[in-house]
Amino acid sequence: MFKRGLKDVVAVHTKIASVDGEKGELRYRGELVDKVIPNTSFEELSTYLWTGSKEVISPLFIKGRILPQHVHNLLQTLPNDLQVMDAMKAAIAVFGTKSFLSKSNDEQSILLTAALPVIIATFYRKQQGLHPIESRDDLGHTENFLYLLTGISPTPAQVEALETYLLVTMEHGLNASTFAARVTISTESDIPSAIVSALGTMKGPLHGGAPSGVLNLLDDMKSPEHVRSVIEGRLAKGERIMGFGHRIYKTEDPRSILLREKCLALQGEDAWLDLATYAEKEIIQLLNEHKPGRKLYTNVEFYAAAIMRAINLDPALFTPTFSVARIVGWTAHAMEQVEDNTIFRPQSVYIGKN
């Protein structure tokens, strides 16, 4: 049976996560994401997706922040006009030394997850003509990432907002990049190669593209008093309101609910987060008035854009930052694939000349 793009074809049995678009549910290892992430750190949730336990006992999360010298040297030689995603692929690829690959898949996964923010920050600062900053062992994964980018300690509100985003986007079923990772590892390749495949897939704008449309929307609105006029103007022109509607979720995106709750909890801490929570209510009301019956709910990109704006993140770093979260899911799936492996080998139908 031919299914364009393998749509709706079940190719994997997994214990890692499930997505129910009709119910609007995202589960990590069987638990609803809103029950799993409260009072949970990046390191703890990563461990949970890898092992089913939140107990972080490995010192590799800290050790992995120190890049091998050959990885650091490579980043310094790459051209500055290279996209950050491509620098990430190159750096992860050269992790594949004999000594690194001799480690267990669990160890490799932790080390690569810990290293990715350092790779991003090191190359990004090089592009800006700045020297790399040394990681601080007293900072958690998310806070250290923000610190590495600027050398300035982020505010608690910035850390909380970004960490929530990273937690809710770590894993989302057999999406394109996760599938790419599993296909690569199914050939009995290695973890770094699987992550390079996933990064190459994530780079595509149809998958990991930055929420630029939402950013433009927020910039146009600027403040609460302009929300209604901006939205009504766009609707009058027949324009799509970015950040609303999702191809999988037929009700509210559970990730956007959690991000909204975090933004509300941080009310008064950041103007962009305040604008997003206010604008969402107005936009939903206007969409119901202008497009009755369409059921256009807020998706994760709406609040992701607000958070990225709140932490002053360069748009060039949006997809790399998404990858900081998603590498946890990629490595979890790669390890699961190895446990009961069958190489992926779908069929094709020839439709050319006879």
Strand order in the sheet with 31-32: 17-20, 25-28, 31-32
Please report the beta strands in the chain, taking only residues with DSSP state E, as ranges in sequence order: 17-20, 25-28, 31-32
* pLDDT value of residue 119: 98
pLDDT over threshold 90, residue 88: yes
pLDDT at position 136 is: 97
User: What digits encode the pLDDT tens for the residues 146-158?
Assistant: 999 999 999 999 9
Residue with tokens 């980018």: 149
- Residue 293 confidence (pLDDT): 74
Closest CA to 44 of 52, 33, 32, 56: 56
**Which positions are catalytic?**
246, 301
Mapped onto helix, strand or coil, the DSSP state of residue 66 is coil
On whether the CB atoms of residues 101 and 190 are closer than 8 A, the answer is yes
Residue 210 pLDDT class (50, 70, 90 cuts): low
> pLDDT tens for residues 237-282?
988 888 887 777 778 889 999 999 988 888 888 888 899 999 999 9
**H or E element at residue 112:** helix 105-127
**Structural domains of the chain ordered from first start:** 57-206+318-339 (1.10.580.10), 212-310 (1.10.230.10)
From the CB of residue 20, how many other CB atoms can be counted at a distance below 10 Å?
A: 15
Q: What is the mean pLDDT of the chain?
A: 93
**Is pLDDT above 80 for 70?**
yes
CB-CB contact of 67 with 115 (8 Å): yes
- Cβ atoms of 321 and 313 within 8 Å: the answer is yes
For 98, counting Cβ atoms within 10 Å of its Cβ (0-12 exposed, 13-18 middle, 19+ buried), the class is exposed
